[in-house]
Amino acid sequence: MSELSKGERTRKKLVDATAVLLRRQGFHATGLSDIVAESGAPRGSLYFHFPGGKDELACAALDAAGADWRARIEAVVAAAPDLDHAFGAVIELLAAELVASKFQHGCPVAAVALESISEPVRKTIAVHYAAWERLIASHLVSLGLHDAPARQLATVALSAIEGAMLLARVQRSTAPLLTTGAALRAMVGLVSGPSRSPGTRPSSPSRRPRSASRPRRTRRSADRRTDLRTARRPRPASRTPGSRSP
């Protein structure tokens, strides 16, 4: 990989600094002066590389941060042998990041997503979430789930994890995230059933093989049981003392 030019290094500094600030404090609380101070880049270079101003820079920063985060999660998921371990590994990764940042760094786009933002910024965030959702769904499919339930579970998992990370930041505790992770793992166990090797599909329901110890019912034995049932007479209704039979 060739070394970055001076201009490319300056642009990267601006993008990286903006990503950190957006993740920590959101869009409206991050001013251009904050970005210049965080990056150490000249103010004039900001408008040179991003003539569209703050919105253009924010989109570039969210793109870079989202791609980096997704790549790290994808690597963890790909290394997991099954669904249970995949969710467990992702939860552990996210919890560790929260603790390392003293609960300042959650999802790289969540803080901005909660604000009233411009359409280009909103679309950038939507692309990030859609890509993460596809990542979860595709891994679920590769481990045996059908497409429809995989997409549904991916939506539930993404929504639950995003909410858990928000609670974890507010409470300064990983407990919401760990609790959500345990619930997702239990849900995966219910949906997926017995563990399957990656790449296999769940087989269609088939008739359970007849136990060798149970003899096959014959027409004759069935008729005999029917005869016995019809042969039984109903018990006469109880009569009160003093009543006469008809």
* List of residues 6+ apart from 76 with CB closer than 8 A: 86, 89, 90, 93
CB 93 within 8 A of CB 72: yes
Q: In this structure, is residue 102 part of a structural domain?
A: yes
CB 43 within 8 A of CB 65: no
Q: How many domains does the chain have?
A: 1
pLDDT in tens, 168-189: 999 999 999 999 999 998 887 7
Chain position carrying tokens 């004039």: 44
pLDDT in tens, 61-110: 999 999 998 899 889 888 888 778 888 899 999 999 999 999 988 899 99
Chain position carrying tokens 């008809």: 246
For residue 71, how many C-alpha atoms fall within 13 Å in the half-sphere facing its CB?
6
pLDDT in tens, 235-245: 555 555 554 54
Q: In this structure, is residue 202 part of a structural domain?
A: no
Q: In this structure, is residue 217 part of a structural domain?
A: no
What per-residue confidence (pLDDT) applies to 68?
A: 92
Q: In this structure, is residue 77 part of a structural domain?
A: yes
Which bin fits 235, alpha (ψ -120 to 50), beta or left (φ > 0)?
A: beta
| Lowest mean pLDDT segment, chosen from 36-45, 96-105, 226-235 | 226-235
Q: In this structure, is residue 212 part of a structural domain?
A: no
User: Residue 199's pLDDT band (boundaries 50, 70, 90)?
Assistant: very low
209 has a pLDDT exceeding 50: no
The CA-based angle 218-221-224, given to 5 degrees, is 150
Q: In this structure, is residue 213 part of a structural domain?
A: no
* List of residues 6+ apart from 180 with CB closer than 8 A: 91, 160, 161, 163, 164
Q: In this structure, is residue 218 part of a structural domain?
A: no
Which own/partner pairs from 231-235 qualify as long-range (CB within 8 Å, at least 24 positions apart)?
Answer: none
CA 203 from chain center: how many Å? 25
What per-residue confidence (pLDDT) applies to 190?
A: 75
Is this prediction's pTM over 0.75? Answer: no
pLDDT in tens, 11-21: 999 999 999 99
What domain range includes position 15? 6-192
Report residue 129 as tokens. 């979430």
* CATH code of the domain in which 40 resides: 1.10.357.10
Q: In this structure, is residue 90 part of a structural domain?
A: yes
